[in-house]
Amino acid sequence: MGPGPSNINARVARALSAPLIGHLDPYFLEVMDEVVQMLRLVFQTKNRLTIPISGTGSAGMEAAFVNFIEPGDKAIIGINGLFGQRMADICQRLGAKVIAVEADWGRIVEPGSLTRALKAHADARVLAVVHAETSTGAWQPLAELGEACARSETLFLVDAVTSLAGCLVKVDEWRIDICYSGTQKCLSVPPGLAPLTVSDKAVQVLAGRKSKVSSWYLDLGLIMKYWGKERVYHHTGPVSMIYALYEGLRLVLEEGLEERFARHRWVAELLEERLNSLGFVYYAQPGYRLPMLNAVKPPKNLDIHHTRKRLLSQYNVELGGGLGPLKDKIWRIGLMGESATKENVDYLAAALAEIMNG
Amino acid sequence: MGPGPSNINARVARALSAPLIGHLDPYFLEVMDEVVQMLRLVFQTKNRLTIPISGTGSAGMEAAFVNFIEPGDKAIIGINGLFGQRMADICQRLGAKVIAVEADWGRIVEPGSLTRALKAHADARVLAVVHAETSTGAWQPLAELGEACARSETLFLVDAVTSLAGCLVKVDEWRIDICYSGTQKCLSVPPGLAPLTVSDKAVQVLAGRKSKVSSWYLDLGLIMKYWGKERVYHHTGPVSMIYALYEGLRLVLEEGLEERFARHRWVAELLEERLNSLGFVYYAQPGYRLPMLNAVKPPKNLDIHHTRKRLLSQYNVELGGGLGPLKDKIWRIGLMGESATKENVDYLAAALAEIMNG
């Protein structure tokens, strides 16, 4: 019940341990095609360029910027937590001029502030936000930003690492141009792959680059030739992890996206009820709290550091600690994918009650 | 029996399917420490900075260059196949001036040519070669190059993707400064991780950089803080793949490095005997042929394309095709890790004899 990796289903575990085959084997190419089709359903997109990047969610973030940013480009970035900061760091390394639109940790970045920045910097290459800020639990609204970018040359870039398959992510309807995720959150597949989808508008920007992409490994022009019809060898596909993603996506679609989102929602409501009654206070801005990542301040009579250790050693429950300025101030409780169950909530609440009364 | 991924042991399959835990869980940190210790034994090094990069072998190649090359640096690169070409491509993207020392595909790059290039470009940042050129089967000699680099400021960079754990790779004795591998070859772990080791001399170069590393994901300065004592979160470690590497390394060390190298050698000799008697011709330079990657030209009466397909569909045997200028000209037969067995050689030879006799 930390901020990811979440638990995996037995079917995903079996897929992981299946015999290896070559990354250009005809059967494996079929598996790849089905992964792409299922990813499109989960991202709610028709984007041709929809693939898993061979690295963790952070590799997805890097791929999302390195392919579209050239030195000197402007990048408008919403920063209200660790992952917005990371976006800015990556952009600076690529020689971009970062226009930071900041908000306090725990709050959303006001869409109005971002659209004003877009008006002031109409030549920005990207406007980037984190949908689900895993460091704070804030749930960023997106639709208005997508509309604004769609009326401009700017690409709308969204980090959906923690949100995808846990709450609505409508890539096409919300006019998102570049969207990436990680496998180890609500998809409930081990960490190691970063699903990514890219709009035609963004593909045109990629095609019009003046310079080569600085990363060979994450160069989408090359990666597309392996995942597309040409099947040109790029790097050795992480076969076992692709098997696992295949099975994980099947489980998501068997459950149904709406049903899965509803499950995440009501399990999170149940947690909130239990934690409120134990004296916990939620950290993120009211009305914008993620169901799958609950940032909470324990009551003062509970040793925040010691209790988390005890939950792990004595109760076998993992919670996440705070990052950056929230270190030792909050817990981050994940309810993601296979881990988002009433059983888990009940068990955690019972353990906390036992510790607090003991 | 292709150029990787090789087969995995049942113990590695079981490790892959073990329950997930957090990438900062105390138990997982212990697993990480043991992985590092075992990697040092396999690389035959005492290098403190020895870790698996969270990506495939090609991510290892990119990490090896992106951390040490700054724009304008000179890179001397031995090019005698696809992977040397890839090194040059990566360096050019990083703004390096590439000094290519070329040889025909299938031949080694003469050490004398490389040391002459080093004399002519004493200010070169790296001298890089591919130990086991997977596209041709050539086995590059290293010791003389390491000596030459050790007497200069230049870092000696070696691609050991296909060689590590299949033949001698003595990082310290051969004075290699930067050495990376992939898990899916002679380590017999699925593709997805790239073991990397870096000498103190290279760590000093990293510390003395004028510019930030252009890749955030592969920035060794940040990654070291997660793998080192600080345990600062960087990216979510690919937990299941690390489990698999842990078990794969245990298997390598239980067998013993010398014993494992000897097995690769005699199984390759057996294959050569069988293939010679069937009229196959080896492609790589005599005296410099890898045991784990056998590039061979089939006899003229055998349809190179059709036979390889038939081996897969009818006999369940995967072989690799040629890459680049060798497309449709050779087969690449892998004898790597778990796949390097007499049974496999006998079965392939029997299948080929059956096909050739109609």
Could you report the per-residue pLDDT of B32-73, keeping only the tens digit for each? 999 999 999 999 999 999 999 999 999 999 999 999 999 999
CB-based contact B56 A13, cutoff 8 Å: no
pLDDT at B323 over 90: yes
DSSP letter at B102? E
Q: Does B152 touch chain A (CB under 8 A)?
A: no
Longest dimension (CA), chain A: 65
Give residue for tokens 């990363």.
A215
Residue B92: closest C-alpha in chain A: A214
Under DSSP, is residue B320 helix (H, G, I), strand (E, B) or coil?
Answer: strand
Q: Work out the minimum CA distance from A147 to partner chain B, whole angstroms.
A: 30
Query: Can you tell me the distance from the alpha carbon of A94 to that of B207, in angstroms, rounded to the nearest whole number?
Result: 20
Summarize pLDDT for A125-143 with one digit per residue, the tens. Answer: 999 999 999 999 999 999 9
Asked if pLDDT for residue B358 goes beyond 90, the answer is no
CA distance B155 to B172: 13
Contacting residues for B4 by C-beta, under 8 A, at least 6 apart: A236, B134, B162, B182, B184, B185, B191, B334, B336
Residue A50, both tokens: 């929809």
**Contact in structure between A163 and A108 (CB atoms under 8 Å):** no
Q: What does chain B come to in residues?
A: 358
Give yes or no for A6 touching B (CB within 8 A).
yes
| Mutation site for B-interface testing, chosen from A1, A56, A58, A180 by largest number of B Cβ within 10 Å | A56
Number of cross-chain residue pairs from A and B with Cβ atoms under 8 Å apart: 173
Give the DSSP per-residue string, A50-88. EEEESS-HHHHHHHHHHTT--TT-EEEEEESSHHHHHHH
Instruction: Tell me whether residues B214 and A217 touch, CB distance under 8 A.
Output: no
Q: What pLDDT digit, counting tens, does each position of B262-283 carry?
A: 999 999 999 999 999 999 999 9
| Cross-chain Cβ contact B7/A23 below 8 Å | no
DSSP state of B6: P
Q: What is the DSSP letter of A289?
A: B
Q: Is B57 on the interface with A (CB under 8 A)?
A: yes
CB atoms within 10 A of CB B303: 12
- Can you give the pLDDT at residue A46? 98
Return the closest-CA partner of residue B284 out of B293, B275, B271, B276: B293
Per-residue pLDDT, A69: 98
Taking alpha carbons only, the member of A222, A179, A143 closest to residue A39 is A179
Q: How far apart are CA B343 and CA B124, in angstroms?
A: 47
- pLDDT tens readout for residues A185-200: 999 999 999 999 999 9
- With CA atoms as reference, the chain B residue closest to A334 would be B22
pLDDT at B71: 97
Residue whose token pair is 């990376």: B180
Is residue B129 within 8 Å of B140, Cβ to Cβ? Answer: yes
Average pLDDT over residues B285-295: 98
Instruction: Write down the mean pLDDT value for chain A.
Output: 97
Q: Determine the pLDDT at residue A358.
A: 81
Which residue in chain B is spatially nearest to A188 when comparing CA positions?
Answer: B20
Angstrom distance (rounded) from CA A135 to CA A295: 8
Residue A346's CB is within 10 A of a number of other CB atoms, namely: 13
β-pair partners for B295: B332
Alpha helices by DSSP H, listed for chain B, are 10-16, 26-43, 57-66, 82-93, 111-120, 143-150, 200-207, 220-227, 239-255, 257-277, 304-315, 342-356
Residue A5 DSSP class: P
- The closest CB to that of A20, out of B8, B56, B89, belongs to B8
Q: Which residues sit opposite A75 in a β-bridge?
A: A98, A126
Return the axis-axis angle of helices A342-357 and A257-277, rounded to nearest 10°: 10
ipTM of the complex: 0.97
Region B331-355: mean pLDDT is 98
Q: Contact at 8 Å (CB) between A297 and A330?
A: yes
Contact: B244, A240; criterion CB under 8 Å: yes
In the block, tokens 């040490």 appear at B68
B355 by DSSP, 3-state: which?
helix
Chain B residue with minimal CA distance to A7?
B20
- Assigned token pair, B6: 């090789």
Query: Coil, strand, or helix at residue B326?
Result: helix
Q: Which two tokens stand for residue B310?
A: 């038939």
Q: Is B210 on the interface with A (CB under 8 A)?
A: no
Please give the Cα distance from A48 to A51 (Å, whole number). 9
Measured between beta carbons, the chain A residues lying within 8 angstroms of B323 are 233
Structure confidence at residue B219 (pLDDT)? 98
Task: Name the β-bridge partners of B334.
Answer: B293
Instruction: Mark the ranges of chain A whose per-residue pLDDT is less than 50.
Output: none
Residue of A nearest to B13 (CA): A17
Q: What would the two tokens of residue B51 be?
A: 């870790």
B191 close contact with A: CB closer than 8 A = yes
pTM of the prediction?
0.98
DSSP string, A210-259: SS--S-STT-HHHHHHHHSTT----S---HHHHHHHHHHHHHHHHH-HHH
CA gap A95, A154 in Å, rounded:
17
List, in sequence order, every beta strand (DSSP E) within A60-181: 74-79, 97-102, 126-130, 132-133, 138-139, 155-159, 178-180
A238 touches chain B (CB under 8 A): yes
